[in-house]
Amino acid sequence: MTIERDQHFMRAALNAAKKALGQTSPNPAVGAVLVVDNRIVAKGHHREAGLAHAEIECLRDFGASVPARATLYVTLEPCSTAGRTAPCTDAIIKAGIKNVVVGAIDVNPRHSGRGIVKLRNAGVNVREGILAEECARLNEAFNKWIVTGKPFVIAKCGMSLDGRLTRPAGEPRWVTDAAARRHAHQLRAHVDAVLVGAETVRADDPRLTVRGIRGTRQPWRIVLTRSGRLPRNVRLFSDRFAGRTLIYSGKSLAAVLRNLGKRSITSVLIEGGGEVLGQALDGGLIDKVQLYLGPILTGGPVIAFPGRGAEATAKALRVRDASYQQIGQSVCIQGHPEIFRSE
C-alpha cells in the first residue's frame, strides 16, 4: 500500500508541476504536495526562474508548523546549493519535515544526489524513485540542456497522408484542421523557441506566436537563411514581439542549436519548412516528433522530411514511446526517435 499511496500523491505533485511547463526555463518544472494523514494539505509549483521553488511554495501554502507525521512529495530532488534562491534542503530541514518522497534525481552535476544525502544526514527519511520516469520525462528538455549544453529539439509539422506540407499552388495552405492547430499552440507554449527556414517566412509570413492560451510567455522566433535576404515587412520583424526574433545567416542547423544552448534556450520547436526538417532528420538532431496528419491526399510540392534519407531501413530512426491521438479530423503522432540497431 505504501508504493500505491506514494504513486497517488506523486501524481498530484506531477499535476502541480505541469502548471509550470513553459514558464520556468532555464529551470526545470517542479511540483510538490504536503500530505498529512493521507490528505493533501498544501500544494506548490515553481512558477518562474528566480522565484521560489516548488517546495517553498508548498510550505508557504500550508502556512503553519509542519507536524512530524507529514510527508512532502516533490517531483525532483530538492536543490542543495544556493543559486538565485536559497537551498530547498535547508528550508525542508528548518521546517522540521521528517519524511520526503522524491520522484526524479536531478541530473544537474551540481545537485545530483546531494540533496538526498543532505536530507538523510539531517535525519530526514527519504524515499526516492517514485514515478521517476514520468517525473524525468516532464523535464526532458532541461535534462538534455543541463547535461549537453544543447537544446531539446522537437520536429513538428502538419502533413497530408502522403507526407506533404503543402497543397497545390493556389489552394489554402492548411493541411490540418483548426482543432489540430489549437493543439499545436499548446506545444508552442511549452518551448523556449520556434525555428523556421527563410522559405517559410517568405511563403507564409508566419507569426510563430502562442495564441489562445492565457498566462504564457512568447517563445523566441528563430529564422535560418543562407543568403540573409529576407523581406523586412513580414510580421516576425514588425509585430510587438519583433525583439524576440533572431536571424542566423549562413549557419548550419547544428551550429545554430549550439549557439541557442549558450543563450540558455533549452528547447527548440522546428516548424518548417521541409528543407529544415530534412536537415534535422539527416543530422540526427531530433529528440522528439509531434506530427499532425490531416485526412487528405494532396500531392503537393513540399515533402515533410526531404534530404538524404536513411542509407538503409536498418539505419532509419525508429520512433519509441509512440502515441496516437485523434484531434478533430487529424491524428497527432508523438514519439522519440532513436537509431535502430540490428542484432
Contact by Cβ (8 Å): 135, 128: no
CA angle 185-22-107, nearest 5°? 135
Three-class SS of 41-80: EEEEECCCCCCCCHHHHHHHHHCCCCCCCCEEEEEECCCC
> How many angstroms separate the CA atoms of 164 and 142, rounded?
32
Q: How many CB atoms lie within 10 A of CB 303?
A: 18
Cα distances (angstroms) measured from residue 73 to each of 19, 24, 89, 125, 230: 16, 20, 13, 12, 51
Number of H helices, E strands in the chain: 11, 13
Look at residues 232, 187, 234 and name the one whose alpha carbon lies nearest to residue 211. Answer: 187
Is residue 55 part of the annotated active site? The answer reads yes
**Catalytically annotated residue among 4, 48, 55, 57:** 55
Asked whether the CA dihedral 125, 130, 133, 139 is positive or negative, the reply is negative
Which residues carry out catalysis? 55
